[in-house]
Structure formats: structure tokens, C-alpha cells
Amino acid sequence: MKRRRILLGLLLVILVGSALLVTWAIRATPSVRDTVVDALNARFDSKVDLQTLKVSIYPTPQVTGTGLTLRHNGRTDVPPLITIDGFDANASLKGLIRKPLHLKDVKVEGLNVRIPPGGLSPHDEADDDQPQRPKDLPPPAVAATPPPPSKVLIDSIHAKRARLEIASRRADRLPRIFDIENLVMRGFGRVEGAEFHAGLINPIPRGRIETSGNFGPWNGEDPDLTPLKGEYAFKNANLDDIKGIGGTLSSVGTYSGMLGRVDVEGQTETPNFSIDIAGHQVPLQTRFKAIVDGTNGDTWLEHVDAKLARTTIVARGAVVRTRNVKGRRVSLDLQIDHGYIEDLLRLAVKTTKNPMLGTIDLKTKFLLPQGENDVVDRLQLNGTFRLAQATFTNFDVQRKINVLSSRGRGDEIADGTGQSVVSNLEGTFVLRDAKLTFSTLRFLVPGAIVDLSGTYGLRDEQMDFKGYFLADATLADMTHGMRSLLARLAQPFFRRPGGGSKIPIRISGPRSNPQFGLDAGRILNKQ
């Protein structure tokens, strides 16, 4: 009987304790709900709605909820900043009873984060032709008042699937969307911010980005000033997703700063970079420093060192979005000092054998508007170049250059099979709609200069140039026999100021077999 009384007493205690715990859980649910809502309101300076929240004790303390919506500054004219379909958290009794509310592991379903257009921290923006420069963005380090201690602390947050949408501060610009896999945050609610790790799917070029670092604390008054830092790895991105180019890109780097201004340093490798018009693969490596506006993804390249095969290209500029067009506009200043023309031609010329060898200096404005057309059709260039010590790999072409030089010097007529002469080229060019237009194109060999202007089509490889052949020798010196006598009679029409000859010429036809000829229609044109 004594044992029965003890067992009945223990059972009674358990029943009463369970009843008390159930009663406490029922009464605690509104309190926990209010704590969660108040904490999120304070942390994000927002209005928070929570459809349901339930606290359970058995078999272990659990907190579940659905329909969490967070509207920054209570705005209803834009989508919510954060929405969560549902969450499930475990905790200890101590964590649920004491303040701040302490949750251990939280599993989140249906997480969507939207940075609304123009809503977080409005700044003046320039028009599309004059994108906002980095100096106009928030400085990289601004002293911010630390937020008050959070009313909710969470050891870890796991979201298997999430979505990040970054809209421009301008409503007429398309948002950038990232699918996030396996997002993990640790230490949510800490004053120093939360650690994170995430895998993101970059849309174009498509590839996976692994990134980890520290984010926060969230600056409710000016979210652009929310600090972040970390590192990333972007591997095996398929450049074929960008119409007109190809290759497989990988990149690693670090970033730090604030959401409105992120300083990024990194490097890329594309061992098989190509442009569709030629289809030849050339190794491309870059090292860069950039500033990124994390609220819209616009990027300013402070300095880029690119190495295309053996040629170094230095660049700076901007990669920004413009109105109602998918993609981003790339605007750069490019410079090449003592590069190799064969590296550049391999990207642009279809032939398997490189047509020319030599060193090149180049300065150009590079503009690639966004759009659906091939890169070669959208690309715009405006610059100057100088090609030194050039030789042609095609025997027939080089032979003609040798003959040209011999005649310009007034040497005995030869077949051009001797030692190859080197050529120098320089010019001013514009590229639009896959057509190169040369306002000036000067070709120099010993004894002769060819001054031209005209066009060359990158797609059809058709040439159409007009200009003058300027020779050191007279027409008589360039001929012999009866032709020499006729040349002396014709020399007044071709006299070159200072001596020698000035002969109007035209070069036309396909690149593989150009036609050189006298432009007879301009012989009597004194201009």
C-alpha cells in the first residue's frame, strides 16, 4: 500500500506538472509571439506580421510559426522586405522563460528577401548616360550607432531554399534575382552581426557562388550602411549564356564595406575564352578592384589588369543597368601597351593561321550595351592604335608588301621573295554594328606610306578603303623601259610635295584576297 501511495503521488505530480506546463505553454504563446514581433520590429525598423505561432513542450520545447511578413518602414507600396512561409525552432525551457528569448536551431521554409526599389535608403541617381560614380556612394566606413540588444537570440538559422531579389532604386530598372541554396546564419541577434554561409545561383552567366562572412547588424535608419564582409568562390560559370562569347569562368575574391558600397578584390580565370565570330579559344586572366552597390548590383571597376594570352590589358569603368533592358551596360576605358596583335586577332579572325605578327599599343573607349544580339553586333569602340614591326604570315600578302617597299624606294623591280620588310600601322577607328570605320589608317614600310580611310566588316570580312600611296621615288624610278618614259610624262599628275609620288589608290574585296588598284577617278582631283 505504501508503494502504491508513492506511485500515485508521483503520477499526480507528473499530471499536475504536465498540466502546469501545458497551461504555461498556452499562456506563453502570446508572450513569445509578442517578443518575436517586437524584436523584429526593433531590429529592422519595420512592421512585422505573424499569422500563427505555437509553443509546445512535449517531447521537447518547440516554437513553430507561419506567415511571417516584414515590411521595412511599414511600406505597403512595395513588396515586403522579408517573407517566410513557415519556421520550426527548438529551444530549452530556460531559453523560453528568460529574456532575451533564446532559440537554438531554426529551420525556415519559403524565405524571400526583396530589396525594394527606391525604398531602403534613397539617394540621387544620375541619368543612364552618366552613371553615379563611386565617390557619390556612401563612404566605406561610417560610424553608426550600435543597435540596442536584441530581444531574440538565435544560435543558427537554416534555409534550404531561399530567394534574393535586388531591385534598383529606380523603378524603371529590372531587378536582379538570385536563388539561394543552403543558407546558414549563426548568431542572429548579436550586436556584432551574424555569421553566414550560402550557396547562390548566379543567373547570367549561370554558375554557383559559395560565399561566407559576417553580415550586420542591420541599420534600420539607413540600410545602405549595414556592414558586411566575406569571401566568395564562383566556379565553372558558363559564358555561353552570354550571346556572342564562350568559355568557362572561375573567380575568387574578398569583399568588405557596407551594403550600399562594397569594396571587392578578386581574380578570374577563363582558360578557353572565345568570341563566336572567330571561335578560337584564348586564355584570359584578370585581377580587379571594384566597388559594388549592393542595393542594385551596379559595379564600378576601379582597376582591372587582364592578360589575354601574352597581352596585358588595363581597364577601368562601370557595369550598370539601364532602363527596361535585360542585362547590364559595360562602359570601359581600355589601354594596351606593347601587346601582341596576334593575341587580339585570334579572337576576331576566323582563319586558323594568324594573319599578322607584331606589337600593338591601343587606347579605346569600350561600350557594350545590354541586349539580345551577339556581342560583336553590340560592341562599340572609339580609339587609336599603333602597330609596330608587323609582318604578314601569308606569303602572297607579305610578298606584295615587299614589292611595295621596293617600288617606293625606286629599287630594281623584284618579285618580293627576298627578306621580309616590317610594317608599321597606326590609325583612328570606330566600331559599330560589327563594322570598323577608319577615319585615318596609315601603313608605313621602308620607302613608302599608304594613307587610307574606309571600312572593314567583321562578319563579312569585306574591305573598302580609299587613299594614297606615297612613295619616296618618282614614277620613272619605279618603272623601266618604255614604261619609264611614259611615267616621266605622267609624273606631274602624281607629284608629291617635297619629292616622290602621290598615287590615289583603292583597296577592296574580301580579307583573304584583297584587290589593290589605281583609283583613276581621283587622278585629276587636286584635293
All 3 cell numbers of residue 74? 511599414
Examine residue 428 and state whether it is found in any structural domain, yes or no. Answer: yes
What does the block give as the cell for 337? 601597351
- Per-residue model confidence as pLDDT tens digits over 432-474: 988 999 999 888 888 888 888 999 998 888 989 998 888 887 7
Residue 428 has pLDDT above 90, yes or no: yes
Q: Is residue 226 part of a domain?
A: no
H or E element that contains 190: none
Number of domains making up the chain = 2
Q: What b-and-e string marks burial along 292-316, b requiring 16 or more CB atoms within 10 Å of the CB?
A: bbbbbbbbbbeebebebbebbbebb
152-166 vs 101-115, strand pairing mode: parallel
Q: Give the model's confidence band at 275: pLDDT under 50 very low, under 70 low, under 90 confident, else very high.
A: confident
pLDDT in tens, 349-360: 777 777 778 899
Which pLDDT score, from 0 to 100, does residue 29 have? 54
- For 100-122, what is the mean pLDDT? 75
pLDDT at residue 337, as a whole number: 94
Q: Provide mean pLDDT across the span 268-294.
A: 86
First to last CA, the chain: 131
Which three three-digit cell numbers place residue 102? 533564446
Using alpha carbons only, give the angle 162, 165, 168 rounded to the nearest 5 degrees. 165
Confidence (pLDDT) at 171? 55
Residue type, 170: R
Among candidate residues 158, 187, 203, the one where a domain is terminated: 203
Give the pLDDT confidence score for residue 18 in this predicted structure: 44
Task: Quickly state the pLDDT bin for 420 (edges 50, 70, 90).
Answer: low
Q: Is the pLDDT of residue 141 over 50?
A: no
pLDDT of residue 454: 92
Are 196 and 343 found together in one domain? no
Cell (9 digits) for 11: 503520477
**Which pLDDT score is estimated for 514?**
81
Confidence of residue 224 (pLDDT cuts 50, 70, 90): confident
pLDDT at 212: 94
| Structural domain includes residue 42 | yes
Please determine, for residue 75, whether its predicted confidence score (pLDDT) is greater than 70: yes
Given a cut of 60, whether residue 16 has pLDDT beyond it is no
Which helix (H) or strand (E) element contains residue 375? helix 375-378
Q: What is the pLDDT of residues 146-194, one digit of tens each?
A: 667 777 888 999 988 888 887 655 555 566 677 888 899 998 888 888 8
Q: Determine how many CB atoms are found less than 10 A away from the CB of residue 491.
A: 15
Contact 299, 290 (CB under 8 A): yes
Instruction: Judge whether 493 and 501 are in contact, CB under 8 Å.
Output: no
Among 164, 187, 203, identify where a domain stops. 203
Residue 289 lies inside a defined structural domain of this protein: no
411 within a domain of the structure (yes/no): yes
Query: In angstroms, rounded to a whole number, what is the distance separating the alpha carbons of residues 510 and 160?
Result: 57
Phi, psi of 342 (to 5 degrees): -65, -30
Taking the C-alpha atoms of residue 56 and residue 29, their distance in angstroms, rounded to an integer, is: 9
Cis peptide before 61, with omega less than 30 degrees from 0?
A: no
Indicate left, alpha or beta for 285 from its phi (over 0: left) and psi (-120 to 50: alpha): beta
How far CA 334 is from CA of 117, 315, 352, in Å, comes to: 32, 5, 27
CA distance 114 to 474: 75
List CB contacts of 31: < 8 A, sequence separation 6 or more: none
The pLDDT value recorded for residue 481 is 67
Note the pLDDT of residue 401: 75
Domain boundary among 203, 218, 235: 203
Domain annotation covers residue 162: yes
| 336-379 pLDDT, tens digit each | 999 998 888 888 777 777 777 889 999 999 898 887 788 888 88
Residue 93 confidence (pLDDT): 74
Domain that holds residue 517: 338-522
DSSP 31-42: HHHHHHHHHHHH
**Residue 134 — very low, low, confident or very high, per pLDDT cuts 50/70/90?**
very low
* Domain-located, residue 404: yes
Give the predicted TM-score (pTM) of the model. Answer: 0.73
For residue 23, the surrounding DSSP H or E stretch is helix 2-44
Residue 209 in this model has a pLDDT that exceeds 80: yes
**Sign of the dihedral through C-alpha 182, 188, 190, 193:** positive
